[in-house]
């Protein structure tokens, strides 16, 4: 007998059968076909329906005990639900199997597609769980890979040393130990960084330290101690920033990087460092006392004739004899000159109280970064808005320097300087 393809089965007819005698499976199937023949008309003839695949193979499971037989009958159907119900009722009319009395009772008609839907549902749950457990982390890895490729594309070289793309144009340089440290600082948006690549300090780094404000940013381990010792002897290091003991620069988060750089200290304040080889370490005369960059402090035009007076630090109250009217224009002029350095670059530079640069970031990241960095002064290539002033007030910013200013309120009296 032909078998209906499994993919077209819509319903399954389940029936129970009891027989007063001992019979075989073919006897039951023959009785169903024989006694239903001509019962339902030509359109629902079981033999014809089976030949065309609209009725599947009739399955019979029968067992004999004490001279009686009992079991189940399953009839697959691809007919609609009305025709299938008629076939089920027709099967119940079978009352003899061979010479024995029999009784068939249809227990249920099952929608085969409902069973398939349950299978689909359960399988969909398994696939979704697998997707969430395995595929999504892979997507995250893909994102990290893309970020890494961008960082690698940003890394440059300076005289053959791994460096950031801003090393040539920045006023300061951050000196780190290895290539991985450079990559991490690039990820944090810091681009004025160069690697020494070991304890043998390269000449390009030594030359850079003499031309720019040099910050040694080193690991808090024995290796960092050795590199700092050599840097202090052969290079002109102004500040030193060290990671906590047991941590490396390449492991720090963006917030940790910024906070560590903010806590940098002058090399001269570190015991055992700051003496170049061959120097007698005698203090310089007052008029030639070194500044924080290790070289003679330059005399600004407005300071001619008052070199022996201590120079006030920006943001602090003037000392006796230093009038506010005399010092304020000097600060304004310097900050406006810092503005000219970022003009047209769509970047912002954040400074501490001594107007030493903490970091340089894109303008779109300025407001979110203020809370983490908490700078003293912000210089940026943009318009001073109310949103920026509110964020600056919450972060303790004392001064904002920009191209122009919109109509804003300034309840915290933050100092605002603009080019226009």
For the cut 90, the answer to whether the pLDDT of residue 268 exceeds it is: no
Classify strands 399-402 and 377-380 as parallel, antiparallel or unpaired: parallel
Q: What is the pLDDT of residue 302?
A: 39
Q: What is the mean pLDDT of residues 132-140?
A: 63
Within 10 A of 77 (CB to CB), how many other CB atoms are there?
24
pLDDT at 264 over 80: yes
Per-residue model confidence as pLDDT tens digits over 393-412 = 998 899 999 988 888 888 88
Q: Give CA–CA dist 335/377, Å, rounded.
A: 9
Three-class SS of residue 320? coil
- Select the highest-mean-pLDDT range: 1-10, 148-157, 250-259, 278-287: 250-259
Answer with the residue of higher pLDDT: 14 or 318: 14
Task: Average the pLDDT over 102-126 and give the result.
Answer: 88
DSSP 8-state secondary structure symbol assigned to residue 132: I
Percentage of the chain with pLDDT > 90?
A: 22
CA–chain centroid gap for 410, Å, is 36
State how beta strands 68-77 and 193-195 pair: unpaired
Confidence of residue 138 (pLDDT cuts 50, 70, 90): low
Backbone angles phi, psi at 88, to 5 degrees: -65, -45
Look at residue 153 in the predicted model and tell me its pLDDT: 61
Q: How far is CA 304 from CA 40, 95, 316, in A?
A: 121, 126, 21
Distance CA 80, CA 49 (A): 13
Query: What pLDDT band is residue 76 in, cutting at 50, 70 and 90?
Result: very high
What is the reported pLDDT for 291? 40
Mean of the per-residue pLDDT values for the chain? 80
Best CA proximity match to 271, nearest among 213, 228, 236, 235: 228
Pick the more confident residue, 174 or 269.
174
Q: What is the pLDDT at residue 220? A: 86
pLDDT at 345: 84
% the chain with pLDDT above 70: 79
What's the DSSP call for residue 245? E
Per residue in 195-237, pLDDT (tens digit) is 998 778 899 999 999 999 999 999 988 888 889 988 988 999 9
Within 13 Å, how many C-alpha atoms sit on residue 374's CB side?
A: 10
Backbone angles phi, psi at 275, to 5 degrees: -95, 125
Task: Convert the pLDDT of each residue in 291-327 to its tens digit.
Answer: 444 443 343 333 333 343 443 333 344 444 343 333 3
**3-class DSSP state for residue 374?**
coil
Using the 8-state DSSP alphabet, how is residue 58 labeled? P
Distance CA 259, CA 257 (A): 6
Per DSSP, which regions of 179-286 are E strands? Answer: 193-195, 213-220, 239-245, 265-266
Tokens encoding 55: 């009725």
Distance between CA atoms of residues 412 and 415, nearest Å: 9
Whole-number pLDDT of residue 18: 93
Give pLDDT tens digits for 244-257: 887 899 989 888 89
Q: Residue 378 is inside which H or E element, if any? A: strand 377-380
How far apart are alpha carbons 4 and 93 in whole angstroms?
24
DSSP codes of every residue in 344-361: TTTEEEEE-TT--EEEEE
The mean per-residue pLDDT over the stretch 73-100 comes to 90
Given a cut of 70, whether residue 269 has pLDDT beyond it is yes
Q: Select the more confidently predicted residue: 389 or 199.
A: 389
Domains of the chain: 6-112 (3.30.70.60), 156-269 (3.40.1360.10), 323-418 (3.40.140)
State residue 159's pLDDT score. 87
Q: 16-42, pLDDT tens digit by residue?
A: 999 998 888 898 989 998 888 888 888
* Residue whose tokens read 């490729």: 149
Task: Give, in degrees to the nearest 5, the angle at Cα 87 between 13 and 38.
Answer: 145
C-alpha span between 212 and 230 (Å, rounded) = 18
Report whether pLDDT(15) > 90: yes
Give the three-class secondary structure for 418: strand
CA nearest neighbour of 268 among 195, 216, 212, 333 = 216
- Dist. CA 284–CA 204, nearest whole Å: 28
């Amino acid at each position: 007998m032909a078998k209906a393809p499994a993919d077209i089965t819509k319903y399954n007819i389940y029936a129970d059968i009891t027989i007063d005698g001992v019979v075989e499976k073919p006897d039951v199937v023959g009785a169903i076909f024989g006694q239903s023949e001509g019962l339902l008309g030509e359109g629902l003839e079981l033999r014809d329906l089976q030949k065309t695949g609209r009725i599947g193979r009739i399955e019979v499971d029968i067992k004999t005990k004490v001279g009686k037989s009992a079991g189940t009958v399953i009839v697959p159907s691809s007919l609609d639900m009305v025709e299938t119900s008629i076939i089920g009722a027709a099967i119940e009319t079978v009352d003899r199997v061979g010479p024995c009395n029999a009784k068939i009772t249809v227990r249920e008609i099952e929608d085969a597609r409902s069973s398939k839907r349950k299978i689909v549902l359960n399988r969909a749950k398994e696939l979704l769980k697998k997707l969430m457990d395995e595929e999504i982390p892979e997507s995250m890895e893909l994102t990290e890979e893309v970020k890494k490729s961008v960082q690698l594309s940003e890394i440059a070289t300076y005289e053959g040393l791994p460096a950031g793309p801003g090393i040539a144009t920045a006023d300061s340089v951050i000196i780190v130990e290895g290539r991985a440290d450079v990559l991490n600082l690039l990820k944090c948006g810091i681009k004025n960084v160069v690697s020494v690549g070991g304890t043998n300090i390269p000449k390009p780094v030594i030359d850079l330290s003499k031309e720019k404000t040099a910050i040694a940013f080193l690991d808090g381990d024995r290796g960092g101690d050795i590199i700092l010792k050599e840097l202090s002897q052969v290079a002109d290091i102004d500040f030193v920033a060290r990671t906590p003991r047991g941590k490396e620069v390449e492991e720090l988060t963006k917030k940790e990087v910024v906070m560590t750089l903010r806590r940098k200290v002058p090399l001269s304040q570190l015991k055992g460092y700051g003496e170049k080889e061959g120097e007698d370490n005698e203090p310089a005369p007052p008029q030639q006392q070194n500044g924080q960059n290790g070289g003679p402090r330059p005399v600004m035009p407005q300071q001619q004739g008052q070199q022996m007076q201590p120079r006030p630090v920006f943001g602090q109250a003037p000392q006796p004899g230093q009038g506010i009217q005399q010092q304020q224009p000097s600060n304004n002029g310097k900050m406006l000159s810092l503005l000219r350095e970022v003009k047209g670059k769509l970047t912002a530079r954040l400074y501490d109280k001594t107007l030493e640069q903490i970091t340089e970031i894109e303008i779109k990241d300025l407001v979110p970064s203020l809370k983490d960095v908490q700078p003293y002064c912000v210089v940026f290539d943009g318009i001073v808005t109310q949103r920026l002033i509110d964020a600056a007030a919450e972060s303790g910013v004392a001064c904002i320097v920009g191209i122009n200013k919109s109509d804003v309120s300034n309840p915290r009296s933050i100092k605002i300087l603009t080019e226009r």
